[in-house]
Amino acid sequence: MMRFARAIRWITLSFSTFFAASGAVAFNTLFLRDSVMSEMNDAQYEQMRESFYSALERLTAGETMRWGDAEGAHGTIMMVEDFEYSNYSCRVTRFENFLGSKTGAGELRFCKDANGDWKILSTPR
């Protein structure tokens, strides 16, 4: 449950920071309750998070990055495309995460704010 609360806090902070100037969008985070991310220990969670930010900075559209190891939490992050949103530089990512018998996949959009930090974008473009 603590990891679930941490995940909610991370996503909420990402949203509130990015949308402070453009208006926040309501977001239901209950889907995280049974997610792979909720089962990760602190080290696995941090490795996943750092891998996402590294991928956002280094990969070009169409490239994929693997993170973790087969025995523990692991996954892939793919850069799908780049786009502009409200004068922000943004990227669409696809991911798959694995931990034991749990799997999770999805697509996230990130935008780089004025400070150079990547934030999750919840508003459709």
Please choose, from the candidates 98, 125, 124, 120, the residue with its C-alpha nearest in 3D space to the C-alpha of residue 29: 120
User: Is 22 or 8 the better-scoring residue by pLDDT?
Assistant: 8
- Decide: helix, strand or coil at residue 14: helix
State the total domains in the chain: 1
Instruction: Tell me what pLDDT residue 70 has.
Output: 81
pLDDT tens-digit readout, 59-111: 999 999 999 988 899 999 999 999 999 889 999 999 999 998 899 999 999 99
**At CB < 8 A and 24+ separation, what contacts does 65-72 make?**
68/44, 68/98, 72/44, 72/99
pTM of the complete model: 0.70
Distance CA 39, CA 41 (A): 7
Give residue 16's domain range.
2-121
